[in-house]
Amino acid sequence: MISNLGELAGGEHYLAFLLILIVSCVLLSRNIMSERVDQGKFRITLLVCALLILQDMMEKYAQMDPARKDLRVITSIAGYVLRPAAVLGFLLVIWPSGRPSWFLWIPLVLNGLLYSTALFIPLTFSFDSNYSFQRGPLGSAVFAVCFIYLILILVTIRIRFKDRRIRDIIVIYLCALGCVGAMAVDYVFEEITLISAILISCLVFYLFLRAQDMDHDSLTRLWNRRIFYEDCAEYRNAVTAAASIDMNGLKKTNDELGHDAGDRALKMIGRGLRSVTGRKTIAYRIGGDEFMLLFIHCNEEEIRQSIMSFLDEMWRTGLSVAIGLATRQECGDSLEEMIRVSDHRMYEDKSRYYKAHDRRRKK
């Protein structure tokens, strides 16, 4: 048996084994932002894929001898349960932290119960007198479950990464669509290409998150100064307004309450800015307590609503910010002029704040 399993482990499983090894090494050697994704979900996906490879080897071993029919039935059921479990694992990887996920397990559980009926009736699959596999009337249910999970993956990517550039997330969409193609190959040819597709998707997604981490400010999760300058070059002709934002009283907060309190305040500003960002509104932390908002092809009402929503959020948190806004209509086609004017107006707003509170401006 051991020698037979050794033969079955070669060839078609080589890529999957290699991918599991690569992804495992990457996970062990690197960390990504804990608030962005739970690395444990990556490990669950790796474990399920490894079990799926073992299951396929055992199923092929049982296929060699009709006397092993019971083993083949059990391993086949395991395969039909593990396939959607692997897709679910990838869905859990990208599922937003803190959101309920228990209902995502329902299709998997129902799928497992359905295929367990193969122990008694040929509802999903059976074997004929020649020991050949026969798909039952509900034998394709597993692919429907996988398809549901893949659709949820696409929707989750669209919602969770709505503020990312299209060119960035297109890679993740292609990975998900690649899994759909692999599932189709599995259905037609009874292969196990879905394992490799899921592992490749996990690896690409992990590398995507690593690249995103390099582009984000680690404290506020906003785009950093480098990306701001890149976007200024890329969206030079598309920016319709720019807003400069600065926290009022950060030095006083740091001096009286400590730098941890100051960091918490900056995080709250970051959350407030993220709440108004999207495809047409991009937020950056330029440095210290300095932030920028760029509005892409936004009309006057959209700009006003975004600014008011952000200020309302700051009011609810008890923070004070100085803000200056400049539009293309005022400054012409020069983005540099828009940024200069927005900075000037922000400093004017900051001066009014300190004057109103009878303080000397501090930084």
Name the residue ranges covered by the structural domains of the chain: 2-215, 225-356
CA distance 38 to 3: 38
- pLDDT at site 172: 74
The residue-averaged pLDDT of 42-67 equals 83
More confident residue, 7 or 190: 190
- pLDDT > 50? residue 96: yes
pLDDT at 230: 87
Average pLDDT of every residue of the chain: 82
Question: Is the predicted pLDDT of residue 10 greater than 60, yes or no?
Answer: no
* pLDDT (average), residues 187-216: 72
Instruction: Give the model's confidence band at 185: pLDDT under 50 very low, under 70 low, under 90 confident, else very high.
Output: confident
Region at 48 (left for phi over 0; alpha for psi -120 to 50; beta for the rest) = alpha
130-139, 181-190, 260-269: which range is least confident on average?
181-190
Higher pLDDT, 163 or 48: 48
Nearest alpha-carbon partner for 243 in 333, 314, 334, 310: 310
Helix axes 69-94, 39-63, angle to 10 degrees: 160
DSSP 333-347: T-HHHHHHHHHHHHH
Report the pLDDT value the prediction gives residue 173, as an integer from 0 to 100: 77
% of residues, the chain, pLDDT over 70? 83
Q: Which residues pair with 281 in a beta bridge?
A: 295
Q: What is the pLDDT of residue 34?
A: 44
Q: Tokens 């700009």 belong to which residue? A: 303
C-alpha of 82 from chain center = 22
Whether 224 and 284 have beta carbons less than 8 Å apart is answered as: yes
- Measured between alpha carbons, how far is 63 from 72 in angstroms, rounded to an integer? 6
**Averaged pLDDT, 316-340:** 89
The rounded Cα 149 to chain-centroid distance in angstroms is: 15
Checking DSSP bridges between strand 239-247 and strand 290-296, what pairing results, if any?
antiparallel
Q: Which residue has the higher pLDDT, 342 or 221?
A: 342
Model pLDDT for residues 116-136, shown as the tens digit of each residue = 999 999 999 998 888 988 889
Distances 183 to 39, 202, 323 between C-alpha atoms, Å: 25, 16, 51
Tokens 């799928």 found at: 111
Q: Is the pLDDT of residue 260 over 90?
A: no
Q: What is the separation of C-alpha 53 from the centre of its chain, rounded to a whole number of angstroms?
A: 26
Strand partners, 293: 243, 283
Per-residue pLDDT at 39:
67
Report angle CA 335, 340, 344 to the nearest 5 degrees.
150
Report how far residue 9's alpha carbon sits from residue 287's, in angstroms, rounded to the nearest whole number.
53
Model confidence at 17, in pLDDT bands (50, 70, 90)? Answer: low
What CA–CA distances, in Å, run from 112 to 71, 80, 109, 166, 297?
17, 7, 5, 37, 49
Beta strands in the chain (DSSP E): 125-127, 133-135, 239-247, 281-287, 290-296, 321-327
Q: How far is CA 6 from CA 14, 200, 261, in A?
A: 12, 24, 59
pLDDT tens digits, one per residue of 134-143: 889 998 898 8
pLDDT digits (tens, 9 = 90+) for 213-235: 778 888 888 889 988 998 898 88
**pLDDT computed for residue 199 by the predictor:** 75
Residue 167 pLDDT: 66
Q: What is the pLDDT of residue 217?
A: 85
Residues 250 and 262: their CA atoms lie apart, in Å, by 6
Burial degree of 189 (CB within 10 A; 0-12, 13-18, 19+): exposed
For the domain made up of 225-356, the CATH class stated in words is: alpha beta
Confidence check: pLDDT of 291 > 90:
yes
Confidence band (pLDDT; 50, 70, 90) for 37?
low
* DSSP character string of 168-197: HHHHHHHHHHHHHHHHHHHHHH---HHHHH
Tokens coding 273: 């800015």
Least confident of 21-30, 66-75, 199-208: 21-30
Beta-carbon contacts of residue 129 (< 8 Å; ≥ 6 apart): none
